[in-house]
């Protein structure tokens, strides 16, 4: 199956999780060359059929396969010499320079990428150098680094973690993909764009002012594509590839939206509720002139109010919940009077515009030729399954739909920390202690990326995680830590009832997924339907990584973020439980990045020609 594998020249050496010799031995006949024809004499590995002995040669360190015998994560002899331990002759020539040059080693030193598997199947431990590291000199233990803590994500959780840690005396670097801090909740408008005042904008501006006045080193506009053990972060930014190391890492990567597929959901004009908030908050752009809003949770009212404020028309709001659900949640919502008043203001605006609100309704289908033109709405039961009743067809040029959020826990999963499935909190979430520590020493997590709790809890949890970093680093005594962290703990307790009520409303119900027609696309990146997923189960797929191998579900640009939760629910209905099917394995790159951004300018003349491998 790999006989036609091609990778760009200069990549094969560092794209594996350890010495290249190991990966060169796993199959009988495999060639890795440059993607385009190189000049004469330059290329990747040319391998001859495996003869049973470990005679492959590593381009990077000139070792032979048997040089790694007995090391963790290294090749073991196979074939006819597996028992007698026959060793090929050692090379007498000195080790050549790395074929990928210094640039490749800078990107992935010794291939230490947590969870990345070599073709031979062994997984590299986060702290384990590869089998050839001694040839080039391992990174010295206790090497000095320029930061005490790295924080990923500048939303309510990450920004408050950064501020708390910096105020405690730690050297903090903060990464975010957006040009300014605030996350999705307090998202900043585009530079030069004036937006009407709102509570979210005011809160975001205050946070951005605090960061600007702090000692936090902010690196915005960066795409973090790899996170390595204890702890190295690689990112691509305006000036190219960069990396930072620190003994502590806080993951505050937020959540992404969930849309349960329905016929026509991939039509132009159909967008998520969270995407609609980005258009409204950051760009000041309406999703359409006549809009249908559907799904569940508080974003329904927030988006509707934003569309009306911007001058748009709402054809209908279809809420999966019923009036009784909102009345049942009212005592919990009343625990946060400010947020309840905000929601009441949205409701008054919607009522004043005489917008039809259809409780216990969902989207049956979106229709149109080249773009959305009609939306069919049908009644549902308390679990979200369609029931008998009249369907309503609404003319619209935009449909904003969302069925809750999914925690973006890729970074904790990359390190294989302990996790558990919690439907109310959005899916699989890492197990944390009260201060945000994971099961891996030095790794912390907070915010909606570790379970949906909302901005209030995210703020407090972020501050608590930042203070925990300072305490663990010795910057705060136990008594001081207990005192300064008490307000954050109290805030989390006060907001828990509100966040639990919202979590219940946005939780994915199995009946919602059961209503997806067989021919409907689930993974839009790879065009995988529900029928394809069920066919993969019939062929033997019992967990998410097997499903990926059978169907390519989750292998597109979104890397399973938008299809993974629903696909897992479909498979779990056959297998038995979500715990059994698990999740897609997190792997770098965490976000799609261009290879040119990582390598910079590249020329074949930069690559020393390695001597041919011994036969």
Q: What is the pLDDT of residues 75-129, one digit of tens each?
A: 344 443 444 444 445 445 555 544 444 444 444 433 344 433 333 333 333 333 3
Residue-level pLDDT at 146: 83
Residue-level pLDDT at 548: 96
**CATH class held by domain 259-403:** alpha beta
Does the model's pTM come out above 0.85? no
Residue-level pLDDT at 116: 39
Cα gap 19→21, rounded to integer Å: 5
Residue-level pLDDT at 605: 79
Q: How far is CA 590 from CA 5, 158, 587, 595, in A?
A: 22, 18, 6, 14
Cα gap 430→585, rounded to integer Å: 14
User: Residue 233, exposed/middle/buried by CB under 10 A (0-12, 13-18, 19+)?
Assistant: buried
Residue-level pLDDT at 107: 44
**So where are the chain's domains?**
1-132, 149-256+406-500, 259-403, 516-581
Residue-level pLDDT at 117: 36
Residue-level pLDDT at 57: 40
Spatial CA neighbour of 199 closest among 362, 5, 401, 343? 343
Q: Check if the beta carbon of residue 467 is closer than 8 Å to that of residue 484.
A: yes
Q: How far is CA 311 from CA 187, 291, 353, 513, in A?
A: 21, 11, 11, 34
Residue-level pLDDT at 200: 86
Do 516-581 and 149-256+406-500 fall under one CATH topology? no
Strand partners, 362: 378
Where do the H-state alpha helices sit in 417-529?
A: 454-472, 478-506, 510-514
CATH 3.30.70.1400 fits 516-581, yes or no: no
Please provide the CATH number assigned to the domain covering 149-256+406-500: 3.50.50.60
Residue-level pLDDT at 612: 87
Orientation of helix 454-472 relative to helix 156-167, angle to 10°: 30
pLDDT by residue (tens digit) across 207-252?
999 999 999 999 999 999 999 888 999 999 988 889 999 999 999 9
Cα gap 173→150, rounded to integer Å: 5
DSSP state of 191: T
Average pLDDT by stretches of 10, the chain with 615 residues: 34 33 33 38 37 39 38 39 46 49 42 37 36 32 68 96 97 96 90 82 93 96 91 91 94 95 96 94 93 96 95 96 94 92 94 96 96 97 94 97 95 94 94 95 95 92 97 96 96 92 92 95 96 97 96 94 95 95 92 83 77 86
Strands 249-251 and 240-245: unpaired
């Amino acid at each position: 199956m790999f006989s036609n594998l091609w990778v760009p020249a200069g990549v094969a050496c560092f794209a594996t999780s350890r010495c290249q010799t190991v990966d060169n031995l796993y199959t009988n006949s495999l060639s890795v060359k440059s993607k385009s024809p190189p000049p004469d004499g330059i290329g990747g590995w040319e391998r001859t059929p495996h003869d049973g002995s470990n005679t492959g040669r590593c381009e990077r360190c000139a070792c032979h396969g048997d040089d790694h015998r007995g090391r963790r994560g290294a090749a073991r002899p196979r074939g006819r010499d597996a028992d007698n331990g026959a060793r090929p002759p050692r090379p007498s020539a000195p080790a050549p320079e790395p074929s990928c040059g210094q640039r490749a080693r800078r990107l992935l030193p010794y291939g230490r990428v947590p969870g990345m598997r070599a073709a031979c199947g062994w997984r590299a431990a986060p702290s384990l150098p590869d089998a050839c590291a001694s040839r080039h000199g391992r990174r010295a233990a206790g090497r000095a680094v320029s930061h005490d803590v790295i924080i990923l994500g500048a939303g309510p959780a990450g920004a408050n973690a950064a501020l708390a840690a910096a105020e405690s005396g730690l050297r903090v670097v903060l990464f975010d993909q957006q040009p300014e801090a605030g996350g999705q909740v307090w998202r900043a408008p585009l530079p030069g764009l004036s937006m009407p005042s709102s509570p979210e904008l005011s809160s975001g501006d205050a946070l951005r002012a605090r960061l600007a006045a702090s000692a936090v080193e902010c690196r915005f506009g960066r795409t973090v594509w790899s996170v390595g053990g204890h702890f190295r972060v690689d990112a691509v930014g305006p000036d190219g590839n960069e990396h930072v190391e620190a003994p502590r890492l806080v993951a505050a990567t937020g959540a992404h939206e969930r849309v349960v597929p329905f016929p026509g959901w991939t039509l132009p004009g159909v967008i998520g509720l969270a995407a609609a908030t980005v258009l409204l908050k950051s760009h000041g752009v309406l999703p359409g002139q006549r809009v249908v809003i559907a799904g569940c949770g508080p974003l329904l009212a927030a988006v509707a109010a934003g569309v009306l404020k911007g001058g748009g028309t709402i054809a209908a709001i279809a809420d999966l919940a019923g009036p009784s659900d909102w009345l049942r949640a009212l005592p919990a919502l009343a625990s946060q009077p400010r947020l309840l008043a905000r929601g009441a203001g949205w409701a008054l605006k919607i009522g004043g515009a005489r917008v039809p609100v259809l409780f216990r309704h969902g989207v049956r289908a979106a229709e149109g030729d080249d773009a959305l033109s009609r939306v069919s709405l049908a009644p549902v039961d308390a679990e979200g399954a369609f029931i008998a009743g009249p369907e309503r067809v609404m003319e619209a040029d935009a449909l904003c739909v969302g069925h809750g959020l999914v925690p973006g826990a890729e970074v904790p999963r990359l390190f294989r920390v302990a996790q558990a499935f919690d439907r109310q909190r959005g899916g699989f979430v890492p197990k944390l202690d009260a201060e945000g520590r994971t099961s891996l020493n030095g790794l912390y997590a907070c915010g909606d990326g570790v379970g949906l709790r909302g901005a209030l809890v995210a703020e407090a949890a972020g501050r608590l995680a930042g203070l925990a970093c300072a305490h663990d680093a010795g910057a705060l005594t136990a008594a001081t830590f207990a005192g300064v962290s008490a307000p954050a703990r109290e805030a989390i307790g006060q907001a828990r009832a509100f966040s639990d009520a919202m979590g219940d409303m946005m939780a994915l119900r199995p009946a919602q997924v059961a209503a997806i027609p067989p021919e409907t696309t689930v993974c839009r990146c790879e065009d995988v339907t529900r029928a394809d997923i069920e066919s993969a189960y019939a062929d033997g797929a019992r967990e998410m990584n097997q499903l990926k191998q059978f169907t390519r579900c989750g292998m597109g640009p979104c890397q399973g973020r938008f299809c993974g939760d629903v696909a897992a629910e479909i498979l779990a209905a056959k297998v038995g439980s979500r715990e059994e099917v698990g999740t897609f394995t997190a792997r770098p790159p965490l976000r799609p990045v261009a290879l040119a951004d990582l390598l910079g300018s590249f020329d074949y003349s930069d690559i020393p020609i390695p001597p041919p491998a011994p036969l």
